Amino acid sequence: MTGKMTAPQNDVLVRVKTIVSNTLAWDNHGCMPVGVPYSTDVLPELRRYREAGVNVVSLNVGFGEMDVADHFQTLASMGRWVSMQDCYMLIQPSVDLELAQHTGRLGGCFEIDGANAIGNQVSRVRAYHQLGVRWMLRAYNRSNRAGGGCQDDDDGLASFGRDVVREMVRVGMVVCSSHTGHRTARDVPEVATKPVVFSHNKCTSSRGASEQHPGWPCEDVCPERRCRRGQRYRPVP
């Protein structure tokens, strides 16, 4: 916001700051410019999260067609940078969330936009989780061996993708279906035994709309309309 704020705008800002200060504030998708892997030049800007009162931020370490090596090297460089800063801390067990909040540090964890990060090896899911990755997509717009993307032909969740979902659930990594094709997104809750999220998109009506992004899930895919074994498919604001 630029210029002088009006009285109503200032009132809103005060209320927002009050809410944030009394809440565990978590940005679940701090989208980093990782097109040039391994760079940490942008990370000093994380101070803006702390200044705004945010407690935890999830940083993407790769997306789309980046290969396994690029993901691991980006993750290594970001993780090292965060671990070397006194005002930040990497979040591993959930108790770290309260520790970060009570000590005034910004907590950080990582996420991956697309299963190309694991190549053809399901065991890499556990390796990423041990390094701080807390959620991952099936596909980033384009289809891959795990499933369909929202801007590509979508044949549904592949056999390999089902194995990936099961492994993510086993190790405690959240399954996310943002950027995923509609059919694949519908298949995921049939395999996952824990809650699944859309971490950074909104829902659109299954009846269509004049303006909508192909990555927006139809309302018949998510919210409380679709439950399997007690778990729910939920969009995350």
pLDDT digits (tens, 9 = 90+) for 51-72: 888 899 999 999 988 999 999 9
| Alpha carbon distance 125, 173 (integer Å) | 8
Tell me, yes or no, whether 1 lies in a domain: no
Q: Kindly state whether residue 125 falls inside one of the protein's structural domains.
A: yes
Top pLDDT among 36 and 196 is at 196
Would residue 28 count as lying in a domain? no
| 145 domain-assigned | yes
**CA distance between the termini of the chain:** 21
Identify the residue with better confidence: 201 or 234.
201
Q: Environment class of residue 27 by beta-carbon count within 10 Å: exposed (0-12), middle (13-18) or buried (19+)?
A: middle
Looking at the domain assignment, is residue 47 inside a domain? no
Domain extent, residue 166, equals 54-235
In a domain, 35, yes or no: no
Q: Is 151 exposed, middle or buried (0-12, 13-18, 19+ CB in 10 A)?
A: middle
Cα(43)–Cα(75) distance, integer angstroms = 13
Q: Is residue 214 part of a domain?
A: yes
118 or 92, greater pLDDT = 118
pLDDT band for 229, please (50, 70, 90 cuts): very low
* pLDDT of 209: 47
When divided into structural domains, the chain yields a total of 1
Give mean pLDDT, residues 126-155.
94
**Which stretch, 2-6, 165-169, 191-195, 232-236, has highest mean pLDDT?**
165-169
Q: Does 118 fall in a domain? A: yes
Question: Comparing 11-25, 49-63, 114-128, which segment has the lowest mean pLDDT?
Answer: 11-25
Q: What is the CATH number of the domain that holds 197?
A: 3.20.20.140
